[in-house]
Structure 1
Amino acid sequence: MDSKYLQILEFPKILKRLSQYTAFSAGRDLALALKPSPDLEEAQRRQRETSEARKLLEVKADLSLGGARDVRPLLKSAGLGATLSPADLLDVRATLISGRTLKRAITRLAAQFPLLAAKASRIEECAHVVAEIGRCLNDRGEVVDAASQALARIRHELKEAHERLLDKLNRIVASPANASFLQEPLVTQRGGRYVIPLKADFKGRIPGVVHDQSASGATLFIEPLATVELNNRWRELQLEEEREIQRILAALSALVAEEGSFIERTVEVLAELDLAFAKARYADEIQGVEPHLVPFKVARAKGRKAASSVQHPGSTIQLRKARHPLLDPATVVPIDVHLDDDYFILVITGP
């Protein structure tokens, strides 16, 4: 159909409304790109699919695509060697879990919903990807100790180094010999290093490295020389932890890239199911009725026009209580439209 006529019929506006019933961006893109099909079998298949979706949502009202994301841009990045963030990896995992849940729920009902079950069966669960991301990351996107033996060891040593450092600093600030030199008996941080607040007038009384001073200049924040090595070891372990975390994220990203084609297929099938459910919900909203689609009859001349070059195209249209879906159903007046063998042109007049 010519796009000009689709614009006249306000088809893009209908698609925009339809898209509002989708659950995620990939389904929304399919809804907005939808075009009428000139193929009768394809049109009938689409109608049956929508009817199946309506019935399925009646049977399983809690069915949803919760957690699904269009992660195809992430798959592309991972395929180019990028390291995905924990949030990105969790999106991949949530999408796969959403696909797994839908696949299992719908395929169990294949006898009742064969078209939707056939779609759902194409979903790739990628169970090992789901398991590995879940093993390494918690729900907050933090890399857990169990992600690797090296990370567990580093974090154990990091905890011990931190405790030794703070114990040493606390003994320095708690010492009566240092009480008069300190602004306050506390331990704080400057530039990622632990320091104590020394009165500027007593600079040098506690040997150390100055990292900062107060706005008034009355306080110097120093790292006592007695804790420099402890601070260094604590910082070294922090950097070692960061490197190991990046290694783990890179490995997970490589796994996602390796399974990228299967994950992409899952996203595409989820988008198709999302569109089917959106059409079902929109049909319920406008109280739509599945049409009975019939093939065109063989074109032939009719009646007094038989000797002319004007021929009936073979179309049959019967609309009962039809209304434009964009009009308010509470105020619009439904009409019947009937075109058959006797005539095929309807002239509509008015402003």
Structure 2
Amino acid sequence: MDLRTLEVLEFSKVKQLLTKKTNSPFSRELAEALMPATDFTAVARYLAETTEARSLIRTQPVIPLGGMREIRPALRRAEIGAVLDVEELLTVANTLYAIRRLKRFFTDLEGDYPLLRQMGEDLQIFSATEQAISTAIREQGDIADEASVELVRIRRERRSTQQRVRERLESILRSAEYGKMIQEAIVTLRDDRYVVPIKHEYRGQFPGIIHDQSSSGATLYIEPLSILDMNNELKELAIAEETEIQRILARLSGMVARDAQPIGQSFGAQGGIDFVFAKAKLAEDMRGEEPRLNEDGFINIKMGRHPLIQGEVVPTDIHLGKDFSTLVITGPNTGGKTVTLKTVGLFVLMAQAGLHVPAGLGTE
């Protein structure tokens, strides 16, 4: 296809309109890369797909095409053995949910939509991977206790130890022995260790380890010796928790890696389906019709309207190539000659790209 022709006829602007109708990263790429096809059978199929999609959206206004996210980089990372982070895994799970929802839509679909059904057959459901990620990672991005038995144990023990530390510190804050030394009756953290605020003048009298001081220097944040072992235990539990979380992420990443190829194929299939429906939505906006194709080299445009002109457009009837092969268009400047010629050219390009054209029924 001559790129100069595409530029002069502003085919890229039609693609921009199409791109705005897409819902997924891959369908957006398909719209941006769209080129007119030259194979008659392929063009006929592309147009028929658009027609089926238009028919479906008229009877099923809510089609679950949303929810897709860009997961291809995550799939590639998983395949080479990388451990995916929480955000990547959540993105994969949400995309798998979107694919599953669309697959079930096509499974339950009634009516005569053979081409769309065939596209829907390329979608696969990955329930085990989706469920494992959704169970282990909450939507907020934190790891759920239910992610593993070991994580449940570690967190239970950590909460218990934290409670014992707080109880001990509260007893210190309430004690008559240390009451006058306390700057403020609060428990706080410094370097992930529990401390109490002690007046600077009592630094030598309060048994503990200094971790920080206030900007004025009047307050020292001291870890009492009586909770030193418990703070150490909390530190060890925190390390154990992080280790277990990394193990969980590695396990989930392994599941994604195992299914990476079929997930990628379903991702592409969903993008292809969304692309077809984007064409259908554009056709609805343009009040277009599927043009009939012929191999005899003639055109017959009925009530054709240039797709890029906004507002009221004067429709044009043009036929050429059957009874005569030469057409002379005359008229004054700004009379519409160029628009008419561009309409013919753009209609041809749109039809070859599987797009319906803004014209009347019977356009060929």
TM beyond 0.5: yes
Return the match for 1:338 from 295, 319, 329. 319
Q: Which letter does structure 2 place at the counterpart of 1:191?
A: D
- Counterpart secondary structure, 1:181: coil
Q: Which letter does structure 1 place at the counterpart of 2:312?
A: T
Distance, in Å, in 2 between the alignment partners of 1:112 and 1:101 is: 20
Distance, in Å, in 1 between the alignment partners of 2:35 and 2:137 is: 42
- Counterpart secondary structure, 2:166: helix
Cα RMSD, aligned residues only: 1.5
2:64, 2:105 within 8 Å by CA — same for their partners in 1?
no
- Counterpart secondary structure, 1:294: coil
Q: Does the alignment pair 1:322 with 2:293?
A: no
Distance, in Å, in 1 between the alignment partners of 2:199 and 2:37 is: 82
4+ runs deviating over 6 angstroms: none
Distance, in Å, in 2 between the alignment partners of 1:341 and 1:292 is: 15
Q: What does residue range 1-351 of structure 1 map to in structure 2 within 5 Å?
A: 1-109=1-109, 111-295=111-295, 297=296, 315-328=297-310, 330-346=311-327
Q: Which letter does structure 1 place at the counterpart of 2:118?
A: A
**Larger deviation, residues 212-221 vs 141-150:** 141-150
Distance, in Å, in 1 between the alignment partners of 2:319 and 2:121 is: 41
Counterpart in 1 of 2:360?
A: none
- Counterpart secondary structure, 2:301: strand
Distance, in Å, in 2 between the alignment partners of 1:65 and 1:174 is: 61
Taking a change above 3 Å as real, the CA distance of residues 345 and 246 of structure 1, as seen in their structure-2 partners, is farther
Distance, in Å, in 1 between the alignment partners of 2:236 and 2:320 is: 83
Question: What does the per-residue CA deviation read over 1:191-230, in whole Å, with 9 as the maximum and x for residues that have no partner?
Answer: 2111110100111211111111111111101111111111
2:22, 2:275 within 8 Å by CA — same for their partners in 1?
yes
Q: Which letter does structure 1 place at the counterpart of 2:41?
A: E
- Counterpart secondary structure, 1:139: coil
1:208, 1:222 within 8 Å by CA — same for their partners in 2?
yes
Deviation at 1:95, TM superposition (A): 1.2
- Counterpart secondary structure, 1:172: helix
Distance, in Å, in 2 between the alignment partners of 1:128 and 1:189 is: 40
Distance, in Å, in 2 between the alignment partners of 1:80 and 1:110 is: 41
Distance, in Å, in 1 between the alignment partners of 2:77 and 2:105 is: 31
Question: What does the per-residue CA deviation read over 1:153-200, in whole Å, with 9 as the maximum and x for residues that have no partner?
Answer: 111111111111111111111112111101111111112111110100
Deviation at 1:70, TM superposition (A): 2.3
Distance, in Å, in 1 between the alignment partners of 2:247 and 2:325 is: 70
Aligned length: 332
Distance, in Å, in 2 between the alignment partners of 1:258 and 1:345 is: 61
**Larger deviation, residues 35-44 vs 85-94:** 85-94
1:110, 1:117 within 8 Å by CA — same for their partners in 2?
no
Share of identical aligned residues, percent? Answer: 40
- Give the structure, 1 or 2, with the largest relative contact order (CA under 8 Å, sep 6 or more): 2
Gaps of 5+ in 1: 298-314
Counterpart in 2 of 1:310?
A: none
Q: Which letter does structure 2 place at the counterpart of 1:336?
A: D
Deviation at 1:142, TM superposition (A): 2.2
Taking a change above 3 Å as real, the CA distance of residues 222 and 335 of structure 1, as seen in their structure-2 partners, is same
Q: Which letter does structure 2 place at the counterpart of 1:15?
A: K
Taking a change above 3 Å as real, the CA distance of residues 78 and 223 of structure 1, as seen in their structure-2 partners, is same
Gaps of 5+ in 2: 335-364
Deviation at 1:255, TM superposition (A): 1.0
